[in-house]
């Protein structure tokens, strides 16, 4: 036993001796290597260097969105408390005197987190705030040093703050970046988020061979800049007149789009729900607590239904059994934000009304169904599929030509033309003009309304008739504006877009957004006919667009008045889509007013007057010079220019056998009867040649019923 014990002691002794030799060797020969291994695991001023999000500019280089450097105030309680007597009091004094912070609050925080080395106390301080502190620290340094004290544990972390110099202007085009600047929401900020984003850099320290601290900086890669097609001055003009409209009359919604018809560039876009991009979550005044609660209750009911598909739906009374008041208000606030941020011009559909009529005529001319020289008779309404579908005038227009049909916005003419063309060709051109499909505009949230348009397979005679004058199908403002541009520019359908160029940090162009020609829609001859007709719509006697005239300019355009569902002669969408000059379009403006806040809504003048005010300022700004001949030269002699009682020529007899059999083809002889009132007296000229498009109906009018349904999601072929 003694021998075994001696051997064990000897082995242990030798092992300890070997360990001592190893430790000695490490201390003498490997000291630097192991010091670096241990110390390199500690952080030495390691910090993230944030990237700068790219700027957004208008077409003239005016900054619409930019990023300003700000600073986060960081506290190091561990360093401050490492020598409480020397560091705590001077540091507290610096924080209270430079920034006005509560002394007790900061002291409690430092003591509570005394083992922490990183506490972000304040965010987004300005450069002036930082400089004030640096100056104070320098001034106090000598005095504090004499007393063995110092200001410690305060430093600043760089960050960028997204700033929108024009606040709410162009909010739907620009969009906004979230608080950290990493993600955009809405507009260009969202659609071009990856372009505007950069990559964070890094600064970190390590020990060199002499155990000295070395710093390595991997610089941040900043985001690229985006040059938009928007023009700040035009945007200001349209927003001014939208605001003026809302203050004086108002409506449920109003939207305006300004486009260059020759390349698809969107020069301006706005609606009535503007919001401050610098404070996007500040709700508009109309969202009171009561409104938010009602929105929240409805959203809670929908939310419960989504999450519990097999359960009994909630009622307004039972919502509070499943959702707290805070949850209801939170849901309501979310709905209010979404409503405010929603871009009416590209996300919301509506029945366009008579602005559609140029597409009916254009399609028929392209297909050879009409030549444009035809004459029709309008006797107040047309009976189709068991419905008596009214013209815009309850007196009828009498004998009327195609061009006059556009000028006076005659529904009967459009229904007759659509019947001659047939639904196969009509809906073929609806697709060519882009209705029921997205335009491809480079903004998020575009609707296609595919389920709200008819096709050849789903449309009946009544649907064809009502679609011909813009009822019973839905489109968005951007769809209508892009289609209009293609008809008036010679037939080139350009993809609408809001970005012109992408620039790098140095300002060099790295990508140019060339106009994208999607397809050809109509021929030059059709364009010429439409432009002449729409010029007369505004400038000739009997045209419905007289309110859109701008002195000295060749304005052309088309009014629109659509009766909303339910068809109860109560609510309407009125619009005007116009451009100038009529013979060489340079700018198009589309105005839509949904449910004007007036008792008698169906007056296109509401939209035409907004258009006129906008165009009066836009045209001189764009250097579109007045045409001195507009006022001095007489209007074309319509009587000599347009055929008289010519009827439908053999070239235009294109109706189907079914339509012919039902008497709806429009090929019967016209009588040329002059419209009369019930007492047999001639209809006054102001009714036959109105100065605006007005759906002139009265309760009890015969033939006033219009189909009240749009195609549903379940409609085959949608």
Digit-coded pLDDT (tens) for 176-214: 998 767 789 999 999 999 999 999 898 876 655 555 667
Q: How far apart are CA 121 and CA 71, in angstroms?
A: 11
* Rounded Cα distance, 198 and 222, in Å: 4
Q: Of residues 667 and 354, which shows the higher confidence score?
A: 354
In the chain, % of residues over pLDDT 90:
63
Is there a contact between 155 and 99 (Cβ–Cβ < 8 Å)? no
pLDDT one-digit tens code per residue, 651-708: 333 333 333 333 333 333 333 455 555 455 565 665 566 678 877 655 445 444 566 6
**Helix/strand/coil (H, E, C) string of 465-528?**
HHHCCCCCCCECHHHHHHHHHHHHCCCEEECCECEEEEECCCCCEEEECCCCEEEECCCHHHHH
DSSP 199: B
pLDDT tens digit string along 298-335? 999 999 999 998 889 999 999 999 999 999 999 999 99
* pLDDT for residue 648: 29
631 has pLDDT over 60:
no
Report how far residue 222's alpha carbon sits from residue 195's, in angstroms, rounded to the nearest whole number. Answer: 10
Q: Phi, psi at residue 53, to the nearest 5°?
A: -65, 140
pLDDT in tens, 24-46: 777 676 655 655 555 444 445 56
Distance CA 696, CA 699 (A): 10
Cα–Cα dist 272/553, whole Å: 28
**The predicted structure's pLDDT at residue 676:** 54
**Between β-strands 225-228 and 375-378, what pairing exists: parallel, antiparallel or unpaired?**
unpaired
Position with higher pLDDT, 647 vs 21: 21
Q: Per residue in 368-407, pLDDT tens?
A: 999 999 999 998 899 998 889 988 887 888 999 999 999 9
Beta strands in 186-297 (DSSP E): 201-207, 213-218, 225-228, 251-259, 266-271
For residue 674, the model assigns a pLDDT of 53
DSSP 349-409: -B--GGGGHHHHHHHHHHTTS--S--EEEE-SEEEETTEEEEPSBTT--EEEEHHHHHHTT
Instruction: Supply the pLDDT for residue 213.
Output: 60
Domains, the chain, in order of start with CATH, read 47-226 (3.90.1310.10), 282-334 (no CATH), 354-622 (3.40.710.10)
Contacts of 437 (CB under 8 A, 6+ apart): 431, 448, 450
Count other C-beta atoms under 10 Å from residue 656's C-beta. Answer: 17
Evaluate whether 630 touches 552 at the Cβ level (below 8 Å): yes
The pLDDT, as a whole number, for residue 411 is: 94
Provide the pLDDT for residue 30: 64
Q: Compute CA 44 distance to the chain's CA centroid, rounded to the nearest angstrom.
A: 47
Cα–Cα distances (Å) from 521 to 178, 420, 434, in that order, read 41, 20, 10
Q: Quick one: average pLDDT of 91-106? A: 90
Q: Give the residue with greater pLDDT, 124 vs 618.
A: 618
Rounded mean pLDDT, 119-142? 90
Q: If you average pLDDT over every residue of the chain, what do you get?
A: 86
DSSP letter at 545? B
Provide the pLDDT for residue 603: 92
More confident residue, 81 or 261: 261
pLDDT of residue 503: 97
- CA distance linking residue 98 with residue 131, whole number of Å: 10
Q: Is it true that the peptide bond before 669 is cis, omega within 30 degrees of 0?
A: no
Q: Is 205 helix (H, G, I), strand (E, B) or coil?
A: strand
């Amino acid at each position: 036993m003694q021998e075994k014990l001696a051997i064990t002691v000897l082995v242990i002794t030798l092992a300890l001796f070997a360990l001592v030799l190893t430790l000695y060797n490490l201390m003498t020969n490997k000291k630097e290597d192991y010091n670096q291994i241990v110390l390199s695991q500690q952080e030495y001023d390691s910090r993230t260097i944030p990237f700068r999000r790219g700027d957004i500019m208008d077409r003239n280089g005016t900054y619409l969105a930019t990023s300003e450097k700000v600073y986060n105030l960081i506290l190091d309680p561990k360093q401050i408390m490492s020598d409480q007597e020397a560091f705590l009091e001077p540091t507290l004094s610096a924080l209270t005197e430079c920034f006005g912070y509560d002394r007790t609050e900061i002291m409690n925080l430092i003591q509570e987190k005394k083992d922490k080395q990183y506490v972000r106390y304040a965010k987004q301080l300005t450069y002036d705030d930082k400089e004030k502190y640096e100056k104070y620290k320098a001034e106090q340094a000598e005095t504090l040093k004499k007393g063995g004290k110092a200001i410690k544990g305060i430093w600043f972390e760089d960050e960028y703050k997204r700033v929108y110099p024009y606040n709410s202007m162009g909010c739907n085009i620009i969009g906004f970046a979230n608080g950290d600047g990493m993600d955009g929401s809405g507009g260009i900020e969202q659609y071009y988020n990856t372009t505007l984003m950069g990559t964070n850099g890094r600064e970190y320290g390590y020990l060199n061979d002499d155990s000295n601290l070395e710093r390595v900086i991997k610089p941040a890669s900043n985001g690229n800049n985006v040059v938009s097609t928007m023009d700040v001055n035009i945007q200001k003009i349209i927003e001014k007149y939208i605001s003026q409209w809302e203050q004086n009359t108002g409506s449920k919604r109003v939207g305006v789009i300004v486009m260059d018809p020759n390349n698809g560039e969107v020069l301006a876009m706005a609606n009535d729900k503007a919001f401050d991009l610098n404070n996007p979550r500040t709700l508009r005044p109309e969202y009171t607590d009561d409104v938010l609660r009602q929105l929240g209750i409805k959203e809670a009911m929908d939310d419960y239904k989504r999450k519990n598909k097999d359960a009994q739906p909630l009622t307004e009374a039972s919502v509070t059994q499943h959702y707290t008041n805070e949850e209801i208000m939170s849901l309501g606030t979310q709905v209010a934000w979404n409503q405010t941020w929603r871009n009416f011009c590209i996300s919301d559909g509506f029945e366009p009304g008579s602005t559609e009529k140029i597409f009916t005529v254009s399609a028929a001319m392209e297909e050879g169904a009409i030549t444009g020289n035809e004459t029709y008779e309008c006797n107040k309404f047309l009976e189709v599929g068991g419905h008596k579908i009214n013209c815009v005038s309850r007196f009828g227009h009498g004998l009327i030509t195609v061009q006059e049909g556009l000028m006076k916005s005659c529904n009967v003419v459009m229904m007759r033309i659509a019947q001659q063309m047939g639904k196969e060709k009509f809906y073929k051109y609806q697709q060519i003009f882009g209705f029921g499909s997205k335009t491809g505009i480079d903004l998020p949230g575009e609707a296609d309304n595919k389920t709200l348009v008819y096709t050849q397979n789903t449309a009946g005679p009544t649907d064809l008739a009502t679609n011909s004058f813009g009822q019973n199908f839905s489109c968005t403002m951007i769809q209508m504006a892009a289609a209009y541009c293609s008809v008036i520019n010679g037939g080139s359908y350009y993809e609408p877009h809001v970005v012109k160029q992408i620039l790098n940090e140095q300002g060099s162009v790295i990508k140019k957004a060339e106009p994208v020609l999607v397809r050809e829609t109509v021929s030059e001859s059709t364009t010429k006919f439409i432009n002449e007709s729409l010029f007369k719509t505004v400038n000739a006697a009997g045209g419905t667009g007289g309110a859109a005239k701008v002195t000295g300019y060749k304005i052309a355009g088309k009014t629109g008045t659509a009766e909303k569902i339910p068809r109860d002669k109560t609510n309407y969408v009125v619009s005007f889509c116009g451009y100038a000059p009529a013979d060489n379009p340079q700018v198009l403006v589309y105005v839509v007013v949904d449910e004007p806040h007036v008792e008698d809504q169906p007056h296109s003048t509401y939209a035409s007057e907004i258009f006129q005010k906008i165009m009066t300022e836009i045209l001189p700004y764009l250097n579109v010079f007045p045409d001195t001949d507009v006022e001095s030269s007489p209007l074309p002699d319509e009587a000599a220019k347009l055929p008289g009682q010519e009827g439908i020529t053999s070239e235009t007899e294109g109706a189907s056998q079914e339509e012919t059999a039902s008497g709806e083809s429009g090929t019967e002889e016209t009588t040329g009867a002059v419209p009369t009132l019930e007492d047999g007296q001639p209809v006054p000229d102001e009714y036959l040649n109105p100065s605006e498009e007005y759906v002139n109906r009265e309760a009890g009018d015969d033939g006033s019923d219009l189909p009240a349904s749009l195609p549903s999601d379940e409609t085959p072929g949608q």
